[in-house]
């Protein structure tokens, strides 16, 4: 099989360790010896000729993968049958192509008529010839680096949409862009928020979710619930970019007219707080699905702003439509129904985890249902037409509730879990029992395959010290508790593990689960031959399981994290499996992470190049001389403004951002301020914080990082009270404590 390869990920990166973006300069291609097949120009690609008819009948074209979940039902199920349980052991790499970024990859590819399209970090989009791997074009939306300060949890993009010759991508600076699928040139672009207010503190939007196209409209939501935004989902005309409709997920200022009756209804559940002053949250940052039978678009909504309900609504109302699944009419965006998974959310329990539509036999009756394994740990089965709750049960261990009342649909919350006066070691933590990682469903086994997480997070209220901030998070919890809680309670459980499990949504029970790995695990793909393909997250393994039993039938090492969900497609009579990979596994922000597109086929024999040896910088901080009061002040500022990217204590765990304890900037306050206050690295994502921090504040932050660095140097293992079993995750994992919740 022919192949195209781009060797390496670039020369050594800058030694500056305070930026928030990695070097993006592509490495020069290594000399190649062209075979006769390689010397022939690839067939000109079709221009993403995706129509309503093709999407509605995706099952009739099993060789294509034209939308995020493979078909409108989002089951991520391939009907191709060439790769099966008997021959999967002969699966091998056919081609790979490197990306020009060293950041984490979470994008699910599309395959349309001979071309693979995929989004990567910084909202870039590639098109590859699916036969050879030759890059056809690359689109760079040129997101301003300083916008990274408005992005919660990683400079990622989870996917794209295709329609009528265009590829659609949402960007980190909250644009929706249509790309000409033939040329890779921009066709149109629109801001998904009021551009006249884009500098407003309440307009810190971003986009990381994959758009969906329904009936000629591009459906897209936004991220930003940690900062200060009002959530909504929008539909744009796919040809022109004109706004067709918008549905807000939380009410605005009650002194102003409500957009519809639903916002009036929702406002009555928000008590006497002034939530609108910081937006309210409720962003639609990941899950969406179209039910063509009922002509409804369904989507999940996120957490409130702040997380701690006491800070946004002291009365303790339900706060509609936070943490809810909502259905609206596809043509107009008119409300149809909703189900709130977590009323009065105070745990960052978004309802944005991927969901799917399936036909199940429940109590002898065929029902069309929506299934969501939710972040809060419950798996829900809802009637797709009405939203009626049909079943709910925890699919993993939890300690915040003891079940769901099937009469009211409400979780039975344990009072102590609300952490009003006493810290609570939450399970599942804010990482979620199930994050953004895609499920799969097989109509053959009638099982849902769930990337599952078992993770704790200490919830400690900071209501007494919380003040709304126009820079950094608005959470009203104590982020420093990630250290102090476990330091003071060394025997408290604090695992963060991921695994794949098969769940029966009729019997509501687990059928099997894979071995666990540290940190999150990857998205899944089911096939008609009884296989489940899935990545092990930071374990670097891409593998295939028996869908019925969970037996691992095949695996390969990807040299990097495998988080994004794979797809399967057919070209010239051959079935392939493709997956976008990339994420830190060598323990350092500047280590190569081998972000690539990998394509596998039967009897593929290509080997990846050997990894590049990497020696991480040594921990060598200046002496800790600041007073305890200054260090304490720095801890507070750091938790508010820095921990989201650089991790608690300045020690990033996932290498998505630099480990500040290793930074040479610690040796100079002037150098430190050049970056933090003057924005010397703004083009690389490290914006100036001069609006929020004064020189005495940055001095305290630097003192705090120095103190923690010396503590780590003098007590190298375990770091900050982490159990020995987690040490590898703390250094090598993808999400760890530096990103306490899933990437938005």
The rounded distance, in Å, linking the Cα atoms of 692 and 122 is: 25
Whether the Cβ atoms of residue 76 and residue 358 lie closer than 8 Å to each other: no
Helix axes 628-641, 695-714, angle to 10 degrees: 100
Block residue for tokens 């695990």: 521
Catalytic residue among 348, 350, 478, 697: 348
Whether the Cβ atoms of residue 476 and residue 306 lie closer than 8 Å to each other: yes
User: Any idea what DSSP says for residue 304?
Assistant: B
Using only C-alpha atoms, what is the Rg of the chain? 24
Q: Is 412 exposed, middle or buried (0-12, 13-18, 19+ CB in 10 A)?
A: exposed
The rounded distance, in Å, linking the Cα atoms of 613 and 608 is: 15
Whether the Cβ atoms of residue 338 and residue 351 lie closer than 8 Å to each other: no
Q: Which helix (H) or strand (E) holds 546?
A: strand 541-546
The rounded distance, in Å, linking the Cα atoms of 626 and 631 is: 7
Decide if 348 is catalytic.
yes
Q: Can you give 618-631 as a three-state secondary structure string?
A: CCCCCCCCCCHHHH
Whether the Cβ atoms of residue 291 and residue 368 lie closer than 8 Å to each other: yes
Block residue for tokens 């914006």: 687
Between the alpha carbon of residue 415 and those of residues 321, 346, 419, 494, the distances in Å are: 22, 12, 8, 21
Calculate the CA dihedral of residues 10, 14, 20, 24 and round it to 10 degrees: -30
The C-alpha angle 652, 653, 659, rounded to 5 degrees, equals: 25
Whether the Cβ atoms of residue 657 and residue 155 lie closer than 8 Å to each other: no
Identify the CA nearest to 366 among candidates 389, 384, 340: 384
Cβ density class 549-562: b for 16+ within 10 Å, e for less: ebeebbebebbbbb
What is the per-residue DSSP string for 121-160? GGG-EEEEETTT--EEEEE-----GGGGGG-SS-S---B-
The rounded distance, in Å, linking the Cα atoms of 584 and 729 is: 11
Task: Give the tokens for residue 659.
Answer: 């480990």
The rounded distance, in Å, linking the Cα atoms of 239 and 600 is: 35
Whether the Cβ atoms of residue 283 and residue 301 lie closer than 8 Å to each other: yes
What is the per-residue DSSP string for 94-106? EEEEE-S--S---
The C-alpha angle 28, 34, 36, rounded to 5 degrees, equals: 155
Strand pairing report for 524-527 and 77-78:
parallel
The rounded distance, in Å, linking the Cα atoms of 618 and 687 is: 26
The rounded distance, in Å, linking the Cα atoms of 406 and 409 is: 5
Whether the Cβ atoms of residue 299 and residue 235 lie closer than 8 Å to each other: no
Task: Give the tokens for residue 201.
Answer: 């503190």
Calculate the CA dihedral of residues 493, 495, 500, 503 and round it to 10 degrees: 20
Q: Any idea which residues carry the catalytic annotation? A: 348
């Amino acid at each position: 099989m022919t192949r195209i390869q781009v060797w390496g990920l670039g020369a050594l990166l800058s030694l500056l360790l305070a930026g928030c973006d990695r070097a993006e300069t592509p490495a020069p291609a290594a000399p190649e010896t062209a075979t006769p097949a390689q010397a022939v120009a690839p067939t000109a690609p079709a221009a993403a000729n995706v129509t309503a008819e093709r999407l509605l009948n995706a099952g009739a074209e099993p060789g294509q993968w034209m939308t995020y979940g493979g078909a409108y039902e989002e089951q991520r199920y391939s009907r191709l049958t060439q790769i099966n349980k008997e021959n999967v052991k002969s699966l091998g790499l056919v081609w790979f192509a490197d990306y020009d970024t060293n950041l984490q990859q979470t994008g699910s590819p599309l395959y349309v008529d001979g071309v693979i399209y995929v989004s990567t970090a910084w909202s870039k989009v590639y098109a590859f010839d699916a036969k050879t791997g030759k890059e056809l074009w690359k689109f760079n939306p040129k997101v301003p680096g300083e916008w990274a300060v408005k992005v919660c949890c990683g400079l990622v993009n989870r996917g794209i949409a295709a329609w009528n010759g265009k590829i659609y991508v949402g960007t980190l600076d909250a644009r929706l862009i249509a790309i000409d699928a033939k040329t890779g040139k921009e066709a149109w672009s629109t801001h998904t928020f009021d551009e006249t207010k884009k500098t407003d503190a309440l307009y810190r939007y971003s986009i990381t979710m994959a758009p969906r196209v329904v009936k000629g409209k591009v459906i897209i939501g936004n991220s930003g619930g940690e900062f200060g935004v009002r959530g909504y989902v929008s539909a744009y005309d796919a040809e022109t970019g004109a706004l067709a409709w918008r549905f807000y997920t939380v009410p605005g200022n009650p002194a102003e007219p409500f957009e519809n009756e639903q916002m009036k209804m929702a406002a009555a559940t928000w008590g006497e707080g002034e939530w609108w002053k910081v937006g309210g949250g409720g962003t639609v940052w990941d899950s969406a699905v179209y039910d063509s039978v009922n002509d409804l678009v369904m989507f999940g909504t996120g957490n409130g702003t702040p997380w701690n309900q006491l800070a946004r609504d002291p009365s303790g109302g339900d706060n509609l439509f936070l943490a809810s699944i909502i259905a609206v009419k596809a043509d107009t965006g008119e409300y149809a129904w909703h189900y709130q998974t977590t009323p009065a959310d105070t745990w960052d329990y978004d309802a944005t985890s991927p969901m799917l539509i399936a036909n199940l036999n429940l109590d002898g009756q065929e029902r069309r249902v929506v299934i969501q394994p939710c972040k809060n740990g419950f798996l829900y089965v809802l009637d797709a037409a009405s939203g009626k709750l049909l079943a709910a049960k925890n699919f993993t261990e939890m300690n915040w509730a003891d079940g769901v009342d099937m009469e009211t649909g409400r979780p039975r919350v344990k009072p102590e879990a609300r952490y009003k006066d006493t810290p609570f070691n939450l399970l599942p933590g804010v990482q979620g029992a199930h994050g953004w990682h895609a499920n799969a469903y097989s109509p053959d086994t009638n099982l849902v395959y769930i990337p599952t997480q078992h993770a704790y997070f200490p919830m400690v209220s900071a209501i007494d010290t919380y003040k709304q901030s126009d820079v950094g998070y608005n959470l009203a919890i104590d982020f420093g508790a990630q250290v102090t809680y476990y330091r003071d309670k060394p025997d408290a459980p604090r695992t963060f593990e991921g695994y794949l499990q098969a769940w029966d949504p009729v019997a509501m029970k687990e059928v099997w689960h894979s071995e666990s790995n540290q940190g999150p695990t990857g998205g899944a793909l089911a096939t008609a031959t009884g296989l489940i393909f899935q990545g092990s997250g930071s374990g670097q393994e891409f593998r295939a399981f028996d869908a019925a039993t969970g037996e691992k039938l095949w695996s390969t090492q990807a040299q990097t994290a495998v988080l994004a969900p794979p797809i399967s497609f057919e070209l010239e009579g051959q079935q392939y499996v493709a997956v976008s990979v990339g994420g830190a596994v060598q323990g350092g922000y500047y280590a190569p992470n081998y972000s690539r597109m990998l394509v596998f086929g039967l009897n593929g024999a290509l080997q990846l190049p050997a990894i590049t040896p990497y020696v991480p910088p040594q921990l060598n901080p200046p002496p800790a001389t600041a007073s305890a009061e200054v260090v304490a002040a720095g801890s507070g500022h750091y938790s508010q403004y820095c921990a989201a990217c650089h991790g608690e204590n300045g020690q990033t765990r996932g290498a998505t951002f630099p480990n500040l304890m290793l930074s040479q900037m610690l040796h100079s306050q002037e150098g430190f301020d050049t970056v933090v206050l003057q924005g010397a690295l703004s083009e690389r994502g490290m914006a100036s914080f001069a609006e929020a921090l004064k020189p005495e504040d940055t001095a305290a932050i630097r003192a705090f990082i120095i103190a923690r660095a010396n503590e780590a140097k003098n007590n190298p293992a375990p770091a900050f009270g982490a159990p020995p079993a987690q040490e590898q995750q703390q250094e090598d994992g993808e999400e760890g404590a530096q990103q306490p919740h899933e990437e938005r």
